[in-house]
Amino acid sequence: MTFLHPEYAWWIAMAVAVLGVLRWRLRRRFVASTTVRWLDAGAYRASPVRRLPLGILALALLLLGVALMQPVLPYAQTEITSRGLDIVIALDLSSSMLEEIGRTRPSRTTFETLTFGSATTPSKSRLTATKDAIKSFVASRRDDRIALVVFSDNAYVISPLTFDHDAVIRYVELVDDQLLRGEGMTAIGDGLALSNDLLAKQASAAGARNRVVIVFTDGENNKGRDPLEVVGESNAANIRVHLVGVDLEAEVRDRPQVQRLFESVRRYGGRYFNANTAREIELASQTIDRLEKGVLVSRPFVRNAPVYEWFALPALICLVGAIGLRAIPFFVDQT
């Protein structure tokens, strides 16, 4: 416990001293015979209990003085502010995303055998597996604003940045092969450029949210802007880009242009994930979820809780008790 005005203690001590001196100087004097010394014997002395009102009054004044010094209890608190991210998910809707994920691609010599052989159970398409991973990712990002962009020949905004994650998940569920009917190319650069533009236009008023773009694609850029150039623009705008290759064919992955894109993403702080199965796509999204966390701002501060009532209330009770006792003849001080 501390006091906001400890200097008041000196004034209170001086006031008590002045009252003591005045009481001593103004004490009534009596003329008595020398036989009064006989009354000095213990049998004739007044009971100390008669001084009880004075003691209670002194205690009341002491408590009141402590209350006037404004006692407080200092205690520390920590203010934690969670600051999420602005995340744009760019989803490839080229025609190849409808193929089964992880399937063995037949050669020309085995085509007839596979065609007329025994039937196999179809697995998820690349698009379906990617949609499942995106929905899990969105559901786990509580403090983030999330947007959805799709691209094929061109890029389109499906959902702007929003905290309504249920709405984003519903939009993801509605995405299918009919959404961009008539298109089938892979404009990664245009999808990323639209994501950058969306982040710039919907920048938070506080201006303190980190910005991320996650691109899901199963092919190389074959239409629109050069993605290498757009990744550089993302870096200049402090936007981090992650790239998930959805069942990307080895011959596509090994091409110099594609490798340069991977290197560019890594150079600017992003990650590339090669996901050949539905499980690997899910793991890639979980890894990004762990990498991209919002900032927790911790700011400790000390707050003084006033506790003057702990002393003021007992002082009032003591004062009332002292006055009440003085109304009893036994406690009346005649001297």
Which fold is adopted by the domain 85-101+122-293? Rossmann fold (3.40.50)
Q: Which residue is listed with tokens 């809707």? A: 93
- Grade residue 213 by pLDDT with cuts at 50, 70 and 90: very high
Q: Which residues contact 311 (CB under 8 A, 6 or more apart)?
A: 63, 64, 66, 67, 71
Pairing of strands 85-92, 272-275: unpaired
The pLDDT value given to residue 29? 59
Note the pLDDT of residue 315: 81
Report the 10 Å Cβ neighbour count for 224: 21
CA distances from 218 to 53, 96, 129, 178, 313 (A): 93, 7, 12, 18, 76
Tens of pLDDT, residue by residue over 89-138, are 999 888 888 888 776 555 444 433 333 344 444 578 889 999 999 999 99
pLDDT tens digit sequence for 235-252: 998 889 999 988 888 888
Residue 288: per-residue pLDDT? 86
Q: Over range 163-188, report the average pLDDT.
A: 88
- 290 band by pLDDT with thresholds 50, 70 and 90: confident
Tokens read off for 185:
């190319």
Average pLDDT over residues 164-192: 88
Give the torsion sign (CA, 272, 278, 280, 285): positive
Q: Where are the domains of the chain?
A: 2-75+304-331, 85-101+122-293
Cβ atoms within 10 A of the Cβ of 198, count?
Answer: 23
pLDDT number for residue 75: 67
What phi and psi, each to the nearest 5 degrees, are found at residue 294? -70, 165
- 121 vs 202, higher pLDDT: 202
Q: Are 68 and 12 in contact (CB under 8 A)?
A: yes
CA distance 205 to 33: 94
Task: State the pLDDT at residue 102.
Answer: 72
- Answer yes or no: pTM beyond 0.75: no
